[in-house]
Structure 1
Amino acid sequence: MVTAIHQVSPVDASGTDDDVVAVPLRRPWRWVGAVAVLVLAGAFAASVATNPNLDFDAIGAFLVDPRILEGVGLTLLITFISMVVSTFLAIVIAAMRLSSNPVLSSVAWFYVWAFRGTPLLVQIVLWGYLGLLYDRITIGVPFTDIVFWSVDTNVLISAFTAGLLALTLNQAAYSSEIVRAGMMSVDEGQREAATSLGMSPLYTFRRVLLPQAMRVIIPPMGNETISMLKNTSLLSVIAVLELYTQASVISSQNLKQVELLIVASLWYLLMTSLLSIPQYYLERRFGRGASRTLPATPMQRLRRAIASRRPAPDPAPVTKEVGVV
C-alpha cells in the first residue's frame, strides 16, 4: 500500500531517530465504488424479492420435489460415469499422441480433431438417432453372411446410453489434451534420473512423473468436471430425465417456467459448489512440491481468527524455591 510520511522528528541528543509516523494514503473513490455496488446489488435483490410475478412458495415446494431429486441423482450419476470413463480414455489417447508410432499419433490426433471440432449438442443428437443410420448392430465375419451376435440398435443404445456415449467421448478429447500438457510439463531430466537409478518405466510413471504432472492436470480437470455436470442439461434433447429435463417437464404441466428454472439453477449451484471442495484439496495436495509454504485452508483461517479473538491466558505465577540451611 502506498503511504505518505506525516512527520519526521530530528535527531535527539542521544543520536537516535524518533519513530516515523506513516499515514495510509486515503482513497475515497474506493469507498464510493463499494457503496455504488452495494446499492445496485441491494436494488436488484429488492426487485426480485418484491416481484409479484415470482411464486416463492412454488420454488420452495419444487426444490425438494421427488421428481427433481431423481433428476439430481441421475445428473450426478451421468457426471460420475462420464468423467471416470473419459479420464481413462484420455490417458490412452494422450499416450498415443505422445507415441513415436505415426499411426497411433495420427489416429489420436484425428480423434481429438473430430470431437473437439463438432458441437456437443450435435454429437448427442447423432448418438440418439444412431438407429436411423444402423438398424442393427452386428458382430460377424466381414463381407460374409456369418453372424455371431446381432441386436436392434434402439434396444442396445437407449437414450441414457446415447447420452453417456456422447458426453464421454467428447470429454475424452478435451481431457486427453489436459493429460498430454501435464505430462509434457515434467522435465525430461526426471525420467532420465529415474532410469539411471534403475526404476522401471511403470514405477517411474507412477512415482515420479504422474505426481508432478497432477499439479498441472488437477485444476483444468476440476473445471471440466464442473462443465460436465452442467452439460448434462443438453441431454434434454434426447429425453434423458436429468435435472433440467425434469424441471422442463414439470413446468410444462403447471406453467411455472421461471420458478422451475430457478429451482434447477439452485441445485446446479449447490452441486458445483460441492464439487469445488475436493478440487481445492486435491490442488493443495499435489501442489506441495511447488511452494515452501502452502496457503491456509478455510478451516485453518477460521480457527486462527477464533483463536486471535480469545483473551490471552494470564501468565503463570513464578515460584522461587528457598533453600533452608
Structure 2
Amino acid sequence: MTAATGTSEGVYFPVRAKFPWGQFIQAAVVIVIVGWVIVSFVISGVFDFATVARYLFGPQIWAGLWGTVSLATLSTAIALVLGTLVALMRISNNRVLSGVAAAYVFFFRGTPMLVQLLIWFYAIPRMIGQVRIGIPFTDVVWVDQPASIFFTPFVAGLFALSLAETGYMAEVVRSGILGVDQGQRDAATALGLPRRKITTQIVLVQAFRIILPSAGNQDIMMIKNTSLAYTIGYMELLLTVSRIYYSNFKYLELLLVAAFWYLVLTALITFLQQFLERRFPAR
C-alpha cells in the first residue's frame, strides 16, 4: 500500500507500508503444521475411511443422533428455566431462599454428573418403590406400578442432566443479573414500578442478552454430557456407535463417526449462538 504525505511547501512524498513479514511467517508455519497433521492422519492407515463413509449417514447413527439432540435440548431448556429461578433465589433478600439456592448450586456442581445420573436411574426408583395413582381413601386405583417402569433411561437422564445443569446455569444467569447496571433498578423504583416488573421486564431482559455466550457454551457442554447416559443404556450417539463396533470391531472408525457428529452439532450451536448475539447484543 502507498499513501501520500504533504509538507508546508505542498510537496508530496509516497509512503509505503512495510510488508507484514512476521504475520506472514506465523501464518505459513501454522498452515504447514496443520497440513502435516491432516496428511499424517489420512495416510497413517489406522482408519478405514470406507467404513467411516458407510456408517456416517446410516440409519442407526441418525437414531442415536436424535437421542442426543432431544435429550440435550430438553435438558438445557429445563435447566435454563430452573436456573433462572435458582438465580433469583440466590440474590433474594430472604436468607432462607438464598441459603437453599446456594446449597443447591453447591451440591449439584460439587458432585459428578455421572454419579447423579446413576443415582437417578438405580437409587431413586427403589426409594419411591410403588407408584399408586387414584382417588384417595377409595379403592379406585388407576396406576399401581413399580417406579422403575417410569424411570426409563430417558427419564432418568432428563432428570439428572437437567438438575445438574441447573446448578451451572443458575450461576450463569446470576452473573448476567449482576451485570445489569444498578442505576436502572433505582430509576425504575423511583418511577414506582413494582419489583416484579423491574425484574422481569428490565433486569432479566438485559441479563439474558449478557449471558448468551455463556449459555451457548453450556448448551455445547450438554451435547457432550449426554454421552454419560451411555452408562444407563440410553440410546444416544455414543451408545449407538459402541453397539456397532462391538459387532464389527471397527472401534476407531465408529468413534471417528461419533466425533464428526459431535463437531457438527457444536458448529450448529455455535452458529446459532453467534446469530443470537448479533440479533440481541448486550447493551
- TM-score under structure 1 normalisation? 0.77
Would you say 1:30 and 2:23 are equivalent positions? yes
- SS, match of residue 234 in structure 2: coil
**Displacement of 1:131 after TM fit?**
5.4
Give the C-alpha shift of residue 103 in structure 1: 1.4
Q: How far 1:40 sits from its partner (Å)?
A: 2.2
Corresponding residue to 1:118 among 111, 117, 122: 111
Deviation of 1:27 after TM superposition, in Å, equals 4.5
Write the letter of the residue equivalent to 2:42: A
CA distance in 2, matches of 1:180, 1:209: 11
> Partner of 1:314 in structure 2?
none
Residue 137 of structure 2: aligned partner: none
**Equivalent-residue separation in structure 1 for 2:255 and 2:89 (angstroms):** 42
Identity across aligned pairs (percent)? 35
Unaligned runs of 5+ in 1: 141-147, 290-325
Selected match of 2:91 from 93, 98, 101 = 98
1:78 matched to 2:71: yes
Q: Contact 1:211–1:286 (CA<8 Å) still a contact in 2?
A: no
* Distance in structure 2 (CA, Å) of the matches to 1:138 and 1:49: 55
Residues 136 and 150 of structure 1 are in contact (CA less than 8 Å); yes or no, is this contact kept in structure 2? no
Tell whether the 8 Å contact from 1:233 to 1:243 is kept in structure 2 after alignment.
Answer: yes
Question: Separation in 2 of the partners of 1:196 and 1:6?
Answer: 56
**Which range moves more in the overlay, 96-105 or 242-251?**
96-105
Specify the code of the residue in structure 1 equivalent to 2:240. Answer: Q
Equivalent residue, structure 2, for 1:310: none
Deviation at 1:215, TM superposition (A): 2.4
Query: CA 1:190/1:64 → structure 2, altered by over 3 Å: closer, same or farther?
Result: same
> Helix, strand or coil for the counterpart of 1:77?
helix
Counterpart amino acid of residue 194 in structure 1: A
Does residue 230 (structure 1) correspond to residue 224 (structure 2)? The answer is: yes
Q: 1:52-201 alignment to 2 at 5 Å? A: 52-130=45-123, 133-134=126-127, 136-137=129-130, 151-201=145-195
Report the number of matched residues.
Answer: 275
1:280-295 to 2 correspondence within 5 Å?
280-287=274-281, 289=283
Deviation at 1:133, TM superposition (A): 4.8
CA distance in 2, matches of 1:177, 1:31: 42
Is the contact made by 1:71 and 1:244 (CA closer than 8 Å) also made in structure 2?
A: yes
Q: How big is each residue's C-alpha offset from its partner over 1:193-227, in whole Å with a ceiling of 9 and x where there is no partner?
A: 22333433333333322222122211101110111
Which amino acid letter does the alignment assign opposite residue 53 of structure 1? Answer: V
Post-superposition shift, 1:138? 5.7
Structure with greater helix share of residues: 2
1:214/1:286 contact within 8 Å kept: no
Query: In the alignment, residue 222 of structure 1 is paired with which amino acid?
Result: G
Task: Verify the 8 A CA contact 1:8 1:21 in the aligned structure 2.
Answer: yes
What is the identity, as a one-letter code, of the residue corresponding to 1:285? Answer: R
- Indicate how the Cα distance of structure 1 residues 199 and 28 shifts in structure 2: closer, same or farther if over 3 A, else same: same
Q: Residues 8 and 198 from structure 1, CA distance in 2 versus in 1: closer, same or farther, beyond 3 angstroms?
A: closer
Task: Give the counterpart letter for 1:239 in structure 2.
Answer: G
Q: Does 1:253 align with 2:247?
A: yes
Offset from partner CA, 1:266-316 (integer Å, 9 cap, x none): 111111111122211221233163xxxxxxxxxxxxxxxxxxxxxxxxxxx
Corresponding letter in the other structure for 2:181: D
2:37 aligned with 1:44: yes
C-alpha distance in structure 1 between counterparts of 2:92 and 2:130, whole Å: 32
Q: Which runs of 5+ in 2 are unaligned?
A: 134-140
Q: Which has the higher contact order (CA 8 A, sep 6+)?
A: 2
